[in-house]
Amino acid sequence: MTDLASTTQRKRRSLPEAWFAWALIAPAVIFILVIVAWPLVETFRLSFTDARLGGESYVGLENYTDLAESKKFRQTIVRTFYWMFLSVFLKLILGLVGATLLNAAVPGRGLFRVLVMPPWVIPMAIGMIGWLWLYNGAFGVLSGTAQQLGLIGKAFEFLAYKRSAFYSAVVADVWVGTPMVTLFFLAAMQGVSRDLYEAAWVDGAGRWYRFRRITIPQIMPVIVSMALLSAIFTFNSFEIIWILTEGGPRSATTTLIIDTYKTAIGNFKFGEGAARAVVIVFLLAVFSLIYLFFLNKVNNHYGVK
């Protein structure tokens, strides 16, 4: 009876359904086409020109050959991937540890959960002002405490040296990204059926064993998708580096995004900037495709549709 009713309704609604749906999504589609898709196409076009403030003319592949020959640009690409892998790796580890801790049945965990979230909620730019201060040699608490403990002789400016500036930026990025990863892992952990744990517990499995053999496999799809999401965020992250170092000192923290921004907006070299943006889009697309391929495998392996 119900089957019959729904079939007749389906028939009655099927003709205008597509039109109605298109009408509903049309405003959003048009908006995205104008503000995102068209600029994307325009970026491709500009990358073959020497567009500046004054005007533009077609230069063919010149911007790309320049990039291919530039040692500096190759270093920037390597640095960007290193930045991304290191940061994402740390976020996933910290997120797993954090979620496991917050998932422990101890009093106060509701409060702890709320306290984890601020870096995620507030504007990145404001959090970075805090880190700017923390990293300051003369009056930041990190250098100050280290001095008082006698770990370092004099004030240490975290952002003044190439290596320390890079790792300081990584830590700040991990700080921004960890809360989201933690909360998603936590939600996934809470979704794992208790029966599994109880069965294992009855069989005498310890905590570590249950974590390794139940929790991790059960939440693996979420781990993988969070890894992809944070990889994209980290790859694209602009504010963190821009506010901390503006890509310095001596390009030590210049990632592809920073390089693109400096070229295009800082120096008004729109054409050269566009070529860099195209490289970013290309790398992101390739990276995502490889990743989605693996995600599919993982999902199949762990029986998620």
Partner 1 sequence: MMDRYSKLQIVGIYAAILVFLTFILLPFFEMFMASLRPLEHLFRSPYQFWSDDFSFQAYSDMWVTVPLLGRYILNSVFIAGSVTVLTMVFVVPAAYAYARLDFPFKSASLGMFLGVNMFTGAVLLIPLYRVLSTLGLLNSYWAMIVPGIAFLIPTGIWLLRSYLEKIPVELEEAAYVDGASRLYTLRRVVLPLAVPGLIVVSTAIFIGAYAQQFLFAITFNQTREYQPLPAGLFEFIGYQSVTWNEMMAAALTGVLPVMVIFLFLQKYLVAGLTAGAVKE
115-174: which residues touch partner 1 (CB under 8 A)? 115-119, 121-127, 129-134, 138-141, 143-145, 147-148, 155
Per CB under 8 A, the segment of 66-74, 78-86, 158-166, 254-262 that binds partner 1 is 254-262
Vertex 256: Cα angle to 255 and 262 (nearest 5): 90
Q: What is the largest CA-CA distance in the chain?
A: 84
Least distance between partner 1 and beta carbon 261 (Å): 6
Q: What tokens does 273 get?
A: 């900037």
What type of residue is 9? Q
For partner 1, give the closer residue by CB, 86 or 94: 94
244 binds partner 1 (CB under 8 A): no
For partner 1, give the closer residue by CB, 166 or 260: 260
Q: Where are the beta strands (DSSP E) in 90-204?
A: none
List 58's β-bridge partners, or say none.
49
Q: Give the closest residue to 255 by CA, choosing from 243, 230, 238.
A: 238
Least distance between partner 1 and beta carbon 134 (Å): 5
Least distance between partner 1 and beta carbon 294 (Å): 17
Give the torsion through C-alpha atoms of 259, 262, 263, 267, to 10 deg. -160
List 141's β-bridge partners, or say none.
none
Vertex 262: Cα angle to 256 and 263 (nearest 5): 90
Least distance between partner 1 and beta carbon 229 (Å): 8
Least distance between partner 1 and beta carbon 27 (Å): 5
CA–CA distance, 209 with 216 (Å, rounded to integer): 10
Choose, by CB under 8 A, the member of 101, 160, 196, 298 that binds partner 1.
101
Least distance between partner 1 and beta carbon 69 (Å): 22
In this structure, the chain runs to a length of 305
18 binds partner 1 (CB under 8 A): yes
x-marked contacts with partner 1 along 169-198 as a string, rule CB under 8 A: ------x--xx---xxxxxx-xx-----xx
Vertex 57: Cα angle to 54 and 58 (nearest 5): 155
For partner 1, give the closer residue by CB, 59 or 124: 124
298 binds partner 1 (CB under 8 A): no
205-234: contacts with partner 1 (CB under 8 A): 222, 232
- The number of residues that bind partner 1 (CB under 8 A) is 104
